[in-house]
Amino acid sequence: MERIFNFSAGPATLPQEVLELARDELANWHGCGMSVMEMSHRGKEYMGIQAEAEADLRELMGIPANYKVLFLQGGASSQFAMVPMNLLRGKASADYLNTGEWSKKAIKEAKKYCAVNVVASSEDKNFSYAPAQDAWKLDPNAAYVHYTPNETIGGVEIFWTPQTGDVPLVADMSSTILSRPIDVSKFGLIYAGAQKNIGPAGLTLVIVRDDLLGQTINGTPTMFDYKTHAENESMYNTPPTYAIYIAGLVFKMLKAKGGLAAMEKANRAKAQLLYDALDASRFFNSPVAPENRSLMNIPFTLKNAVCDDEFLKDAKGRSMVQLKGHRSVGGMRASIYNAMPIEGVQTLVNLMKDFEKKHG
């Protein structure tokens, strides 16, 4: 069967070559007579797989030696609580930027643990832009500054790194990680659910500067303490072994393709193709401020919302699925992570042109 173009925001499309390699290795990994799913996480085969995944990720992202890489579970949503539990470090408040639905969820959870100072918000314009840094009201006594560099639902991306002085910068990179190079040393902590741009759901990645560990609030469960996982190489309990193995295959493939600089080039070309089509159209519209247009998640609306269902039906007829937009934005959303080939975006643009001719 032919593969279709899956524009889902997550779980999202995975590289075909990774799926095929995983299929070939499924029942008998490297001649050991069992699948990765069946291996002891304490055996040398699996420990090798995880160590290699971490080494490849460190190389891809240029992660400095004083940062720990943690392979956790519970999704990015668990990090909304684990971040304050671990990083408040005796302080009473934390700074949060509010740029959309995921920021809002992070803020809501943090309020259970501390006072939240919202440094700036774009809610006034339905989260269609990101406030510039000079509009942020940072608190020098905040425990950390949290932001969402790519709002997956609104399609709003921040391409610059906020300056927060000595206050650690924390980023929910769920939908932007591995899409372009970043300077990890500018961050105190980075987290991401794997199911957008890393691998299968069930794995959550945390990259944390080691001086921030070991200062949890009283009563923090052992499993929610980053130090537990840092000290046990993410093997305090059973890690999500198969998801880590697939993520490791993705990391190897990204390295072979030229790393994150090559990914950025490809991602910019894909996004440009779609944004150019939106700008040239009188029927389709991008609601996002030009300087914040996401490379990964591209929402767009049709001039006449009654055409939405027909557009989705036509898309399905051309092997494109999961284009329906989130209810908070309406219209469509094309998620075009690393694994979406440019042919998928071209197929979408071709449909948009034909659809506009018919309905415009």
Ligand X SMILES: *Cc1c(COP(=O)(O)O)cnc(C)c1O
Tallying the residues shown for the chain, one arrives at 360
Q: Site map for ligand X, 297-336, x if CB under 6 A?
A: ----------------------------------------
Other Cβ atoms closer than 10 A to 310: 14
Kindly compute the dihedral angle of the four CA atoms of residues 127, 95, 169, 224, in this order, to the nearest 10 degrees.
Answer: -100
Q: Which is closer to ligand X, CB of 13 or CB of 175? A: 175
Q: How far is the CB of 354 from ligand X (least distance, A)?
A: 31
Q: How far is the CB of 129 from ligand X (least distance, A)?
A: 17
The interface with ligand X within residues 65-94 (CB under 6 A) comprises 75-77
Q: Find out whether 76 is annotated in a ligand binding site.
A: yes
What is the C-alpha separation between 342 and 175, in angstroms, rounded? 18
Among 50, 148, 228, 322, binds ligand X (CB under 6 A): 148
239 near ligand X, judged by CB under 6 A = no
Q: Which is closer to ligand X, CB of 102 or CB of 300? A: 102
Q: Which two tokens stand for residue 34?
A: 């069992």
Q: How far is the CB of 109 from ligand X (least distance, A)?
A: 11
Q: How far is the CB of 226 from ligand X (least distance, A)?
A: 17
Helix ranges (H only) for 218-325 are 226-231, 241-256, 259-280, 308-317
Q: Site map for ligand X, 178-217, x if CB under 6 A?
A: ---------------x--x---------------------
The interface with ligand X within residues 151-180 (CB under 6 A) comprises 152, 172, 174-175
Residue 226: which of 217, 49, 107 has the closest Cα?
Answer: 217
Rg from Cα positions in the chain: 21
Torsion angles phi and psi, residue 284, rounded to 5: -105, 145
Say which DSSP state 91 is in: -
The side-by-side arrangement of strands in the sheet containing 204-209 is 67-72, 204-209, 189-193, 169-172, 145-147, 93-98, 115-121
Q: Find out whether 135 is annotated in a ligand binding site.
A: no
What is the C-alpha separation between 49 and 47, in angstroms, rounded? 5
Among 5, 6, 10, 190, binds ligand X (CB under 6 A): 10
Number of residues that bind ligand X (CB under 6 A): 12
Q: Residues 170, 206: contact at Cβ < 8 Å?
A: no
Q: Find out whether 222 is annotated in a ligand binding site.
A: no
Q: Find out whether 102 is annotated in a ligand binding site.
A: yes
Q: Find out whether 79 is annotated in a ligand binding site.
A: no
Q: Which is closer to ligand X, CB of 334 or CB of 349? A: 334
Active site residue ranges: 102, 172, 196
Kindly compute the dihedral angle of the four CA atoms of residues 308, 313, 315, 319, in this order, to the nearest 10 degrees.
Answer: 160
Q: How far is the CB of 193 from ligand X (least distance, A)?
A: 3
Q: Residues 15, 247: contact at Cβ < 8 Å?
A: no
Question: Kind of pairing, strands 284-285 and 297-302?
Answer: antiparallel
Q: Find out whether 152 is annotated in a ligand binding site.
A: yes
Q: How far is the CB of 204 from ligand X (least distance, A)?
A: 6
Q: Which is closer to ligand X, CB of 87 or CB of 194? A: 194
What is the C-alpha separation between 192 and 179, in angstroms, rounded? 12
Q: Which is closer to ligand X, CB of 30 or CB of 111? A: 111
Residues that bind ligand X (CB under 6 A): 10, 75-77, 102, 148, 152, 172, 174-175, 193, 196
Q: Please report, in range form, the residues annotated as the binding site for pyridoxal 5'-phosphate.
A: 76-77, 102, 152, 172, 195, 237-238
Task: Give the residue numbers of the binding site for L-glutamate.
Answer: 42
